[in-house]
Amino acid sequence: MLGLSRRDFLTLLFVLVLVAAAPILMNPFPEGSKFAQFNAGYPDLMQRFVIFGIFAVGFNILFGLTGYLSFGHAAFLGAGSYAGVWMLKLLTINVIPAIVVSTLVAGVFALIIGFISLRRSGIYFSILTLAFAQMSFALAASVLTPITGGETGLQTALNDPRILDGAASGTGNIPAPALFGLEMGHSWQVKMGDWLWTFNVGYYLSALVLLVAFYISIRIFRSPFGMMLKAVKSNNQRLSYTGISPRPYTLAAFVISGMYAGLAGGLMVSMDPLAGAERMQWTASGEVVLMTILGGVGTLIGPVLGAGLIKYFENIFSKINDNLLHQWFAFMPDGLEDFMVTIIHPFVGKGWHLTLGLMFMLVVIFLPGGLIGGLSSLYNRVFRRSKAH
């Protein structure tokens, strides 16, 4: 069905159910409970889950299939973001042109950088992509200030031309990004008992784009083109001996991966029309590498899970402070309560990166195939044991 094998179709169906029910699944604790801090069903975080999932899926097409590790993919995320904001300023507040143009601009940018960087491989390729990303960051932060807004960033304004739909909203405020009149920030809430679930227009638009992007990635993975990319990863030199040049294939993969990053950037500004140079920093590129490795390099659904996991830790664990910890351990004697808070304090709040680092270290040591690789290995062991008995 849809040109997919039964297994791939079930994977796509699983992702469909997951993203459709995510606002409910990510709010497992009642409002007002002491564990409500761990709920992640609010619109801004849900949007980040799927948008960075798209970013990671695209990066996996390059890294997972060809083995080429790029440390500069944030450049395409930033380029797409800037292009998207300019479309919202110049053309229309409708998000469709912003998303489309962001993807195309990032693709052209990736073509230029990939054409140069892919003359080298291995660590030299990685360093080249990192250099291009840092140059892009420097240009966006200072030299190209009239285009990018410099350090303050680029955002929509009330006096923007918006030649297709007018300069301002009917209320005299800066109009919010919308899809044919339906604002991305529009939400509706459903309350059942002590549970409160929020459903957001922007999230479901991003989720729909994620499903399409995920479907395309499956087709790429299973196509003859995908097989050639796997051959590049397996033995690049041997492929060259057959008379086939791997460079056109790796360049195509690089451009497709860059377009995925631009698509994510376009969706980001469609949800919040602001683009800053920090999206091009090396830390943003390193983040997508972590997402892909945590989830499982070369797997289909792994990068999506990795993106969700990292964004969850970033937004939830970073908000846990000492006051909340004292509330959790208030049932303990004072000395033991203070001891538990002291032990946990370095791993939450501003120190959440320490938790992420430990988690990444454990995955690399004990689950070299990432979360999906570990789950697959566990399933195979259990299945073999049950079959043996």
Is the model more confident about 119 or about 375?
119
Q: Angle, to 10 degrees, between the axis of helix 302-316 and the axis of helix 43-66? A: 140
Indicate whether 287 pLDDT > 60. yes
Q: Above pLDDT 90, what percent of the chain?
A: 40
Helices (H), the chain: 6-25, 43-66, 74-90, 95-117, 122-138, 145-148, 201-222, 224-234, 236-241, 247-271, 282-295, 302-316, 322-328, 334-344, 352-366, 370-388
> What's residue 357's pLDDT?
83
The reported pTM is 0.91
261's CB contacts (< 8 A; 6+ apart) are 55, 58, 59, 73, 74, 76, 77, 80, 106, 110, 288
DSSP SS3 for 153: coil
Radius of gyration over every alpha carbon of the chain, rounded to an integer in angstroms: 22
Q: Which of 24-38, 106-120, 184-198 has the highest mean pLDDT?
A: 106-120
SS3 for 32-97 is: CCCCHHHCCCCHHHHHHHHHHHHHHHHHHHHHHHHCCCCCCCHHHHHHHHHHHHHHHHHCCCEHHH
Is the model more confident about 113 or about 150?
113
Cβ-contact 51, 200 below 8 angstroms:
no
Give the pLDDT confidence of 74-112 residue by residue, as tens digits. Answer: 999 999 999 999 999 998 999 999 999 999 999 999 999
Alpha-carbon gap, residue 295 to 57, rounded angstroms: 10
Q: Token digits for 224? A: 């003859």
Q: Of the ranges 97-101, 172-176, 206-210, 380-384, which one carries the lowest mean pLDDT score? A: 380-384
Q: Above pLDDT 70, what percent of the chain?
A: 96
Give the pLDDT confidence of 22-37 residue by residue, as tens digits. Answer: 888 888 888 877 777 7
Indicate whether 236 pLDDT > 80. no
Cβ-contact 69, 63 below 8 angstroms:
yes
Alpha-carbon gap, residue 84 to 105, rounded angstroms: 9
Q: Which of 181-190, 257-266, 349-358 has the highest mean pLDDT?
A: 257-266
> What's residue 235's pLDDT?
78
CATH number for the domain formed by residue range(s) 6-302: 1.10.3470
176's CB contacts (< 8 A; 6+ apart) are 93, 169, 183, 184, 185, 273
Give the pLDDT confidence of 355-366 residue by residue, as tens digits. Answer: 888 888 888 788
* Whole-number average pLDDT of the chain: 87
For 151-161, what is the mean pLDDT?
A: 86
* Residue of 283, 201, 262 whose CA lies nearest to 23: 201
For 269-295, what is the mean pLDDT?
A: 89
How is the chain split into domains, by residue range?
Answer: 6-302, 320-389
Q: Token digits for 190? A: 């459903």
Alpha-carbon gap, residue 113 to 97, rounded angstroms: 24
Residues forming beta bridges with residue 199, ordered by sequence position: 188
